[in-house]
Amino acid sequence: MAVEEVNHSKLERLLEKYYDTDTSHFIMGGTGIGKSWTVDKKAGEIANKLGREYVKWNKLSKQDKQKIADNPEKYFFLMDIRLSQLDPSDLRGLPGLNGNDTVEWKVPFWLYVCSLPKARGIVFFDEINLAPPSIQASAYQLIHDRELGEIPIQPGVLPIGAGNRLEDKANVYDLPRPLQNRFTHTTLKAPIITQECKSDEDTTDWGEWALHNGIDMRIITFLIQRPTLLNPKINKDSNERAFPTPRSWSVCSKLIQGETDLEWVEDLASTAVGLGAATELTSHIKFQRQIDLNKILQHPEKAKDIEDLDLKYSLLNLVAEWYNKNHKKEHLEKVLQISNVIQAEFAILLLRFAKLRHESSFKRHVTTCKSWKPISKKYQKYILG
């Protein structure tokens, strides 16, 4: 079955269309590339569009879930239902006698909320193909007919499925053809990282996302130099349990943020992305310590004397982190002075780093800085667009 490959931006557009047309969808893709993150992001945007409060069902207390049941018109929910953790009876519910010699099914509370007339939201069946075929079969009626037994699912509640591929070593099952036919399908492309850190219609640039989401600059500049380590091909013979993916690099960032002891950084990073990638990352960080940042800030013209490629990237990291902590006009002036003397591709990258870390401050100050005019003709179209 041919499945269209899409990037994250296109998937977001498709998800909005699927919600508007009440069309169930299945997202196939590798481990840790942002399938659930994209569904979460788009669900929040749909909630805002509908003027409803966005809530993540799985994170709510019992009392807060009851509030949604009592006032479904106020909320837009995202429910994460893992079929692999359920038995068929967990979906259908349990029988109970109603006193008239007939059986009335006691359905799960989440399913009851989905049946409420004013309910709106997304039911996200993540890792659906980890569930054995008998459980997947129980979901046929829920996904296609929007009902389970005698319980209807409201038109404003959309089922979305996601799962890994067979080649991802995730112990998944093939989706039965009847279940496949109840979904529309896309395959999500793995993110890439480029020196430009700029998304277009053909790529999904993790660097742009990372800059917007506070990922440690040392990781960003490292992966720009070693882009194959963002999401390397799976080694079928490897037994390493921690390995690099966009998701695990994000975890790594949280672990090493603010840490400077390299042995400790390597220990922390190895638990998230594996020892090989962690060793390379710490080597990159160690190398950047050859740069005297204070000297460069006092004499920006000395930045052009740095010839080693790795040191050039290290300089970008150091200057960008310095600006990240000190984003006043006079500090942006220093960034511009350095950009004025280094090679164009590095200048553009440094300016984009600065802009994406503090976009409002950057845009407010950049055109009034003395050093902007000499470089504006060269870089304006890359920076202010």
Per-residue pLDDT tens for 58-103? Answer: 999 999 999 999 999 999 999 998 877 777 666 666 666 666 666 6
> What is the model's pLDDT at position 166?
63
Structure-block tokens of residue 214: 């506070």
Amino acid at site 32:
G
Structure-block tokens of residue 142: 């829920």
Q: Measuring CA to CA, which residue among 335, 324, 315, 322 is closest to residue 224?
A: 315
Q: Which segments of the chain does DSSP mark as H helices, in order?
A: 8-20, 35-50, 62-70, 88-92, 109-114, 133-138, 140, 177-180, 206-212, 217-225, 246-256, 262-273, 275-288, 293-298, 309-325, 329-339, 344-357, 359-365, 372-383
> What is the model's pLDDT at position 360?
81
Please state, in angstroms and rounded to a whole number, the distance separating the CA atoms of residues 132 and 111: 21
Please state, in angstroms and rounded to a whole number, the distance separating the CA atoms of residues 382 and 144: 46
> What is the model's pLDDT at position 156?
93
- In sign, the C-alpha dihedral spanning 41, 42, 45, 47 is negative
Stretches where the chain sits below pLDDT 50 are 1-2, 197-203
Please state, in angstroms and rounded to a whole number, the distance separating the CA atoms of residues 210 and 104: 50
Chain centroid offset of residue 308 CA: 33
